[in-house]
Structure 1
């Protein structure tokens, strides 16, 4: 799972991986702008959180599993990761999250999926 996430984030300019208080997160350069954060829960399931537009947050929350609303901000969405995870979708979600968090000079360098 981490290898797949690293492959995705490696395509994003100045996206930096670091250990988080729990799990691993990716940020834009040295800023505090978190792009994605992956961690395990007490239920032994892995989750990833990312940023989304406010209207998308509401839509994801209403979809239910594998999505959930993040607790760490108004524009944070989460997704359970398992054997059925659509990694193409994860790539799109992380790329969109990066584009929300990064300065325009970096967003202009991103090759957007789809």
Structure 2
């Protein structure tokens, strides 16, 4: 079996910079790579695959999952969980877009009383 590369530390730091500012969101070592959780719920997971690509998976609303999935690469619908979508990260990744996806993922996974505290992309508060 091929080795899975670790995500570059600077990419992990960029993801953490977005998620660590959200209420009760914490970084955790995953079975491979790094994940972020709120309570027991996984908000995001960044990891290297046996194909040497680095992927980020997040949670999204059903319509967002479908929209991203239909965009094609670098996006993909994960084979587990109805609300799990991912993308391959590379040197051309749009980190502003990643910050929006991470914030939305947190709001999908967090208890309502925490998600309500988070300004959503586009300037709206999650209701």
Tell me which interval the TM-score lies in, with the shorter structure as reference length: over 0.9
1:2-56 per-position Cα deviation (integer Å, ceiling 9, x unaligned): 110110111211001101111111010xx32110000001222110000011122
Secondary structure of residue in 1 paired with 2:66: helix
TM alignment of 1:21-100, pairs within 5 A: 21-28=31-38, 31-100=39-108
1:3 counterpart residue number: 13
Tell me, yes or no, if the aligned pair for 2:62 and 2:83 is still in contact at 8 Å.
yes
Question: Following TM superposition, by how much is the alpha carbon of 1:113 offset from its aligned partner in structure 2, in angstroms?
Answer: 3.0
What is the TM-score with the length of structure 1 in the denominator? 0.93
What is the TM-score with the length of structure 2 in the denominator? 0.84
- Provide the C-alpha distance between the structure 2 equivalents of 1:38 and 1:72, rounded to a whole number of angstroms: 15
Which structure 2 segments of 5+ residues have no match?
Answer: 1-10, 123-127
Answer yes or no: is 1:17 the counterpart of 2:17.
no
Which structure 1 segments of 5+ residues have no match?
Answer: none
- Provide the C-alpha distance between the structure 1 equivalents of 2:65 and 2:116, rounded to a whole number of angstroms: 24
Aligned residues: 112
1:42-95 per-position Cα deviation (integer Å, ceiling 9, x unaligned): 222110000011122111111111100012201100011111100000000010
- Provide the C-alpha distance between the structure 1 equivalents of 2:119 and 2:22, rounded to a whole number of angstroms: 8
